[in-house]
Structure formats: C-alpha cells, structure tokens
Homo-oligomer: A and B are copies of this chain.
Amino acid sequence: MSTAAVADIRPYHHGDLRRALVDAAIRILEREGPSALSLRAVAREAGVSPAAPYHHFKDKGELLEAVAHVGWEALGDGMAAVQGSTPDLTSLMTEIGVAYVRFSQEHPALYRVMYDTARDKDSLPEGMQDKEDGAYCLVRNTFRDAAGPGVPDVDIELATIAAWCAAHGLAEMSGFAQFNPLKEAFGGDAGFLRAVLSHLGMFQAKQVKQD
C-alpha cells in the first residue's frame, strides 16, 4: 500500500502528466483567456497528443475541476495572508474581502473557471469549502472567533454567506467599465473596493455579536 501510494504520486512515462496538464491549462488561461482553453490546446501546450489527457481525466470538465481546485487553494492562500494583519474585526474582514477581489482581478480567467465548474455541478468545489482550511472556512472561523461562544451556528453561517455574496458580487462587478468614474471618486480601485465593502454592514462585529 505504501509503495502503491508512492506510485500514485510519481508514476509516469512523462513524469507527471496529470500535473503538467493542469499547469499547462492555467498557463493558457492566464495568457489567452477562457475561450482559448480547449483540451487540445492544453495537450499541445504540454507537448502531448490530443487523446493523452483522457488517461488522466474522464473528460474536459474533470480537468477544469482540477484547475479550479488549484485556483481555490491559491485564493485561500491569498486570503490567509492578510490574517492577523489587524486585531479589529471590521477592518480585518474588509482586508480579507479586498484580498478576495484582488485575486479575481489578477486572475480573471481562473476565477471564472472556478465558478463555472461549481455552477455546472450545483455544488461548491472541494478546495473551497470541504477542507477545514479552505477559503470559505477561513471566513467562517474568523466570524466564529470574533463572536465567541454563545452565538448560534446559524448566525455565524448567515454572516459568512452574506460576506461571501458581497465579495463575489463585487469581484464580478468591479471589472465593468461603467464604474470607473466611481472608482476615481474614491481614490482608485483600492479605495473603491474598501468603500463598497465598508458600506456593507455585515463586516461589523456587532452584527454577529448582538443579533
């Protein structure tokens, strides 16, 4: 079993084609956008025949899920990086939200794949929610720690999803050109993001603690 586990990790002709394909897909995504991400282009980028991916993924969707998984981990890392940057919950949640939106701005194609695959399955991806250190759990734990004991789980969950909705909504809207004037009015993109996130009351600790 232990040798089998090793074989699972480093098993190939090619080296590790599965990983190479995911990397190639992300490279194409960042370079040419989602519309250029065909399975054949990924195989080409990895220097392999068009049929080769089918020995590692059931279909294109399964490859995209693997790509999305990498994206969710990177997003989680980005959000975790600002953890502990301030003791104040309000500004901490704002900074986490800014980190979230920043990621979506820096990797728009990857961000799109992350949600597209999730929507196709009607289910949030593993890398985001299932693991205890996923991005979603990070937000929930932040609320839970701030609330302390005695606050019902339902309220924590509500605060979490409300914050997530706001951040995701802002991530999708902030790219539209129509909001450029408003961005300038708030001193650039960062100021705009903080203004919207601050405007959203759910980042305030009292809402979690009181109600």
Q: Which of A2-10, A20-28, A163-171 contacts B (4 or more CB under 8 A)?
A: A163-171
Q: Once the chains bind, are B195 and A199 in contact (CB under 8 Å)?
A: no
Q: How far is the CA of A172 from the CA of B201 in the complex (A)?
A: 20
Q: Once the chains bind, are B162 and A196 in contact (CB under 8 Å)?
A: yes
Q: Please name all residues of chain B whose beta carbon is closer than 8 Å to the beta carbon of A170 when the two chains form the complex.
A: 165, 169
The number of residues on chain A lying at the interface, defined by a beta carbon within 8 Å of a beta carbon of chain B, is 39
- Can you list 22 A-B contacts with CB-CB less than 8 angstroms, sorted by A residue number? A115-B172, A119-B172, A119-B175, A124-B176, A154-B186, A157-B182, A157-B185, A158-B182, A161-B182, A161-B196, A162-B166, A162-B200, A165-B166, A165-B173, A165-B200, A166-B169, A167-B169, A168-B172, A169-B169, A169-B170, A169-B172, A199-B202
Report the 5 A-B pairs with minimum CB-CB distance, sorted nearest first.
A201-B201, A165-B169, A169-B169, A168-B169, A165-B170
Using A165-B166, A168-B169 as known contacts, say yes or no to A196 and B158 having CB atoms under 8 A apart.
yes
